[in-house]
Structure 1
């Protein structure tokens, strides 16, 4: 197919390793393993990102500086007019806006966009999802789909659930460096380390911090590692709160890190205490793949991944006492924690690998634009993977 790609993967630079550009690369590589080539358009090349496969993909630079980046809109319109691609998959809000602008300027492609948060869409953003120029929306879990359809008014037939996936070969405890992480941070090998990732308030870090004194009353050697705080003043403020709670010596706060699998592996327990907006948490998924015990809240898409009492423990959002009790239970009952962790990795292996993700996404591509995969469209209403706990 000279002068033509089945799919363009479009993603802007993110604030950290899980940004839209990396999602575009990982998606292209996962699809390439199925024999479906993509062209990746991102601000910079990411050829050897950690945690992914090594399948080569085609790449071109596109600035994608902002949602009003007219230069990128014109470049994308010219590119797709001259070398038509049946389908363009936009992985972030800037990519989404630039793709819409390119269509207005005469670009030629069917547009698919991604949504990973279960917050209702902002009022001003709703037309950009409802427009007929957007042929489909990839929701990363059922909770995100329900928010798009039920609250934000996006047509149900446009929204397709495609669960994300991870590379189990890369996310193997034998390939991680937990001891090196603990040594770097000055955390004893004997410390009972809890890890929580994500800096917005709705990620629940305040609740985890508030629970730590209670956890330490049951497990005095419990420590907490908070990851993903880019601003020094925010890290200093959290340290002040920790001092007020009397746990300053047991708390570490880090900015974004590229070695997240190593950090998760260093934890004896991984916590996701989100109380709003969450879809299907990538750090939680990676922790389960690494066979780390997890305590998480019944929020957003988390119950679609974690089955309470089987692959982890679920607690109500913003319930500090129940969160503390669940964490203390797993620190005390090591056998239960190990059983949950092993079942968690099995859960990921059965439904949430990169191969599962690529197969589901290819099915969605065929439904929106059969030419993207060179085969007829599948039936209109596939059965999604079961939620955790479904029978």
Structure 2
């Protein structure tokens, strides 16, 4: 089965799935940016890689390359992992024989009927399937109204396939907090690795944390680029400011995150399947997350962590306090979290489900 894969940059979980599918009879041709992080890995695995500049949603050079590729080769399926690559491909394929197209979606929202580029991506009638990284994204598509109550997407067209991971990708040999963060060795560390934006629930997290009694000696680490200045203001004004560290972007973020006692991501909306939560769980760190997006797909409430309603500061405080006060519960949930990633979010499962989808769309090729 010959598959044309369209990337922009490359993600490790997606890339390793493609490499694994090549071991199951798939003949991949991969288009990605020349500087894509996983390009070398593809080439080392013996897969064909065709560089695409992809400077914009309408990149004439990329369109020419893709159109020439379609004219000169026969593909059974086109699988687009990035919207920018999908829009350029759909323009390149105008007037050419139809090939089933699969589009990947990793976030909720940003899909407007009034945006012409939406009709060149997920609203394009040539899209046979949309693969969503979590169930919440699938439900977003199925529930999106069009006109007079009509729906553009059928349950058969939109499917959920989680990305697969390998726990060893995320293990930190010596996770530790750098001295410049000035966190006492005996402190219990609650950590959030994310872009520091209001919609990530950071202000609610700060408000919940300052209500946790100081005698627990808990510290809150907020690691990631600061995109909303109000978050800096909230930290400065907090009654718990002495125990909050707002680090900004850190190149050593994975090592810092490996030293967390509790991972939290209380997003308010538009969450996908957050890799930061996956990384923590794979390392045996229990997570306290909101019920936004794919968080509940990852964390089973009461087993591998806690899931609280998005925006509910009091529920967040209670869940964090429960884990802070109970070391045995943290250890138990952390162990369950690591097991969940190891068993339920594997590359093998992703490949099996994706191959099944390919066979449905191109039965003759299989």
**Shorter-chain TM-score category?**
0.7 to 0.9
User: Hey, what's the Cα distance between the residues in 2 that align with 1:31 and 1:275?
Assistant: 35
Output the TM-score relative to the length of structure 2: 0.86
Instruction: Check the 8 A contact 2:203/2:234 in 1, yes or no.
Output: no
Q: Secondary structure at the match of 1:178?
A: coil
In the TM superposition, residue 138 of structure 1 has moved relative to its aligned partner by 0.3
Cα deviation, residue 261, structure 1 = 3.9
Contact 1:114 1:139 in 2 (8 A): yes
Gaps of 5+ in 2: 146-151
The match for 1:369 is: 362
Q: Does 1:163 align with 2:162?
A: yes
Inter-partner Cα distance in structure 2 for 1:293 and 1:33: 34
Question: CA–CA distance in 2 between the matches of 1:237 and 1:49?
Answer: 40
Q: Give the 3 Å change call, closer, same or farther, for CA 34–339 of structure 1 in structure 2.
A: farther
- Corresponding position: 1:146 with 2:106: no
The one-character-per-residue Cα deviations of 1:229-285 (angstroms, maximum 9, x if unpaired) are 165xx4x65333211113334333345556554333121110010121223222212
**Counterpart in the other structure of 2:218:** 222
1:201 aligns with 2:204: no
Over 3 Å counting, the alpha-carbon distance change for 1:294 and 1:46 in structure 2 is same
- The superposition leaves residues 204-253 of structure 1 with CA deviations (integer Å, 9 ceiling, x where unpaired) of 1121122221125352x32222233165xx4x653332111133343333
Which stretches of structure 1, 4 residues or more, deviate above 6 A after TM superposition?
none
- Alignment RMSD: 2.7
CA shift at 1:189, angstroms? 3.0
Give the structure 1 partner of residue 304 of structure 2. 311
Instruction: Report the CA distance shift for 1:88/1:23 in structure 2 as closer, same or farther (over 3 A).
Output: farther
Kept in 2: contact 1:12–1:21 (CA 8 A): no
Asked if the contact 1:67/1:98 (under 8 Å) is kept, the reply is: yes
Residue 117 of structure 1 aligns with which residue? 107
1:1-391 alignment, distance < 5 Å: 6-13=2-9, 24-43=14-33, 44-47=35-38, 55-104=45-94, 106=96, 109-119=99-109, 121-124=111-114, 127=119, 128-152=121-145, 153-172=152-171, 175-179=172-176, 181-183=177-179, 185-199=181-195, 200-217=197-214, 219=216, 221-229=217-225, 234=228, 238-255=231-248, 260-370=253-363, 374-375=365-366
- Cα 1:42/1:269, change in 2 over 3 Å: same
Q: What TM-score results when the alignment is normalised by the length of structure 1?
A: 0.81
CA distance in 2, matches of 1:31, 1:282: 22
Residue correspondences, number: 354
> For the residues of structure 2 that align with 1:185 and 1:37, how far apart are their CA atoms?
48
